[in-house]
Amino acid sequence: MNRLVALLNHGRVRLTLPLAHRLIGDEAQDTYLVSFPRSGSTWLRTIVINALYPEADSNPEVFNRLFPGVSILRLGLVRRAPRPRLISTHALRLPVIKRPIYLVRDGRDAVVSYYHYTITRQNRELTFEHWLDGYLLGHYGPRWDQHVESWLGQQATPEPLKVLRFERLKAEPLEVVKEFFACTALEGLEEARMVTAIANASIEKGRKWEAIQLGGEKKSDASFYRGGKTGQWQSYLTPALEARFMEVSAGALRLAGYDRAE
């Protein structure tokens, strides 16, 4: 990745994203879903909006409007979102984010998925090893360990920070979705609607919408909806690459509740 793109990524996360958060206007009942990229936030947002608006049918245009992600370009969407607002962000810890729910994924799997997101789906030819070189230098924004330590390394809010794990979302989606709603200002949602919403938020449905929006089917590795595999890092992180990753991430893995045996 060239130096200009790296600088733009750095500026987006360190400068424009904090600015966007300041400009959207904090409201007492806002709920933020915070995560490192490729940690399951799109899937969870899809389920939540399916449950609140069954007619959404997992359409990305709908959940991006009703549960928008923060950026300078999406200020209008966030400001117009239904109240109480549900807002998604990949920001590092910011004082203006007052009701966060932190969704975390094993960093080893997250970086493999991030590799595919930033490289393969853009039809760029770059090995994982070379991509990891750039990742460790911060060419793709803050590293996973920096993001986790930003949110979990210190008390982020006056209340204990609610942490949801991607792996548990896969294993017990209904329980995790219930926990998410319990942390919001939204009340009275029937369990049956959550169950239907989960079933409707399948990988196949996501790829169907992707094909409609982008035209034509994409290979699984090039699709935004790759399947959220657990343990996929073992096929990418050789012992040498794992050692490099662990050199900066071992503490964050422990902090997030993961260890080398997972």
- CA 52 – CA 70 distance, rounded (Å): 20
Look at residue 226 in the predicted model and tell me its pLDDT.
55
Element (H, E) at 162: strand 162-165
Q: Read off the amino acid at residue 136.
A: L
Look at residue 262 in the predicted model and tell me its pLDDT.
44
- CA 12 – CA 25 distance, rounded (Å): 19
Look at residue 70 in the predicted model and tell me its pLDDT.
96
- CA 254 – CA 245 distance, rounded (Å): 14
Element (H, E) at 24: none
- CA 18 – CA 98 distance, rounded (Å): 14
Q: Residue 11 half-sphere exposure, CB side, CA atoms within 13 Å? A: 7
Look at residue 198 in the predicted model and tell me its pLDDT.
97
Query: What's the CATH fold of domain 3-255?
Result: Rossmann fold (3.40.50)
Consecutive sets of 10 residues in the chain, 262 residues long: mean pLDDT of each? 49 75 93 96 96 94 95 94 96 92 97 89 83 93 95 69 96 97 91 96 75 58 60 93 97 88 45
